[in-house]
Amino acid sequence: MLIAAASGRALAASARRAGYFPFVVDAFGDQDTLEAAIAHVRVDFARPIDGDKLVAALQTLACGRECVGIVCGSGFEDRVDLLTNIAGRWPLFGNSAETIARVKHPFDFAAICRAANIPHPEISMMPPGEDTGWLAKRIGGAGGWHVLSVQDADNRNADIYYQRRVDGEPVSALLLGDGRDAVVLGFSAQWTAPTAGHPFRYGGAVRPAPLANDMKEAMTAAVERFNSAMPLLGLNSADFIVDGNSFQLLEINPRPGATLPLFEPNDISLFALHLDACAGRLPVKTPSYCAAAMAGAIVYAESDISAALAIDWPEWTTDRPVAGSHIKAAQPFCSVFAYGETAYEARQLAQRRIATLRTLLAAGAP
């Protein structure tokens, strides 16, 4: 199975659990990605992606092998032409390029929400008359890197649109679609790791999100209505802002995303569920997990790292850079995870582990 994503580690690990042999193209080539993958090629996923180089990398991995198909993660939301090219070469397990283009275009997304009676923020393709109360986003953006204040955005960029800012807490629903129906596998609460230049940079997430049952039911119903209007395939996520007893749907991420490791089940892999859903089969019951709560967070480099050290990594780390890797300041260095009896406990432990890791790294090596 071919896998292409900005970070392919979670998909590759889940594919191995499902009994597949993953051949991975991603931007990092971390230790644990290389351990899970049968073969790997590193390609820069920074905008604009070099489509010729990425397809050539996939062809190198596929050469002489019988490939079942390809699963694409993050990195293609604004390159539907590249996804169309890939889908013409190998069977694509996931949403079509046409579906992704519609879901990620702000006007189409808003129209679907209106038709499905789903609360969503006001949008505009023109710079708003007021700087406050609005955010600038890039069409097809992901991970929070592209979200800026109106003052900081390049308003001449044709890919920019504007979304009215809404108050509340970010919550994401992981969902599985078979092209007709959709089921929500669970909800996670998310947080940011802001910098001066990227105030909404993704920091991490914890499951389960602290939601009352009636809110979960209402948000699940909203996801189902969206899917009825725009059928989704495989693993997707829906990002909400929750404020008390109300919510608004911010966006749909029409591909496997960052919270996958939090929802990896005990008895089956998410990768297997993804492929089953793409074949028209949804699970008859919600998967079970090894712990009541789990948190995952990204550790960003605080300064340039010219060459990552060869260290004895703690077992609660993932996305471990290969020794000698160059990592720029503010870029992902690794990830940490933590379990707990409650979401609060899991998140607090993850934060302590980030501090522990930084102390160990500052001292030389764990």
pLDDT tens digits for range 16-51: 999 999 999 999 999 999 999 999 999 999 877 899
Tell whether the model's pLDDT for residue 108 goes beyond 50.
yes
Tell whether the model's pLDDT for residue 365 goes beyond 50.
no
Of residues 121, 124, 76, 82, the one with CA closest to residue 100: 76
Place of tokens 């490939």: 67
Tell whether the model's pLDDT for residue 140 goes beyond 90.
no
Task: Give the pLDDT mean for 262-280.
Answer: 96
The string of pLDDT tens digits covering residues 218-251 is: 999 999 999 999 999 999 999 999 999 999 999 9
Task: Give the pLDDT mean for 252-277.
Answer: 95
**pLDDT: which is higher, 365 or 172:** 172
Distance CA 62, CA 93 (A): 16
Predicted pLDDT at 25:
98
Residues carrying CATH 3.40.50.20, the chain: 2-93
- 183 DSSP assignment: E
Specify the CATH class of 100-278 in words.
alpha beta
Average pLDDT of the chain, as a whole number: 93
Tell whether the model's pLDDT for residue 366 goes beyond 60.
no
Task: Give the pLDDT mean for 75-87.
Answer: 93
Of residues 298, 294, 301, 209, the one with CA closest to residue 7: 298
Residues carrying CATH 3.30.470.20, the chain: 100-278
Task: Give the pLDDT mean for 101-118.
Answer: 96
The architecture in CATH of the region 2-93 reads 3-Layer(aba) Sandwich (3.40)
Pairing mode of beta strands 246-253, 233-243: antiparallel
Predicted pLDDT at 181:
97
Tell whether the model's pLDDT for residue 255 goes beyond 70.
yes
Of residues 4, 91, 10, the one with CA closest to residue 50: 4
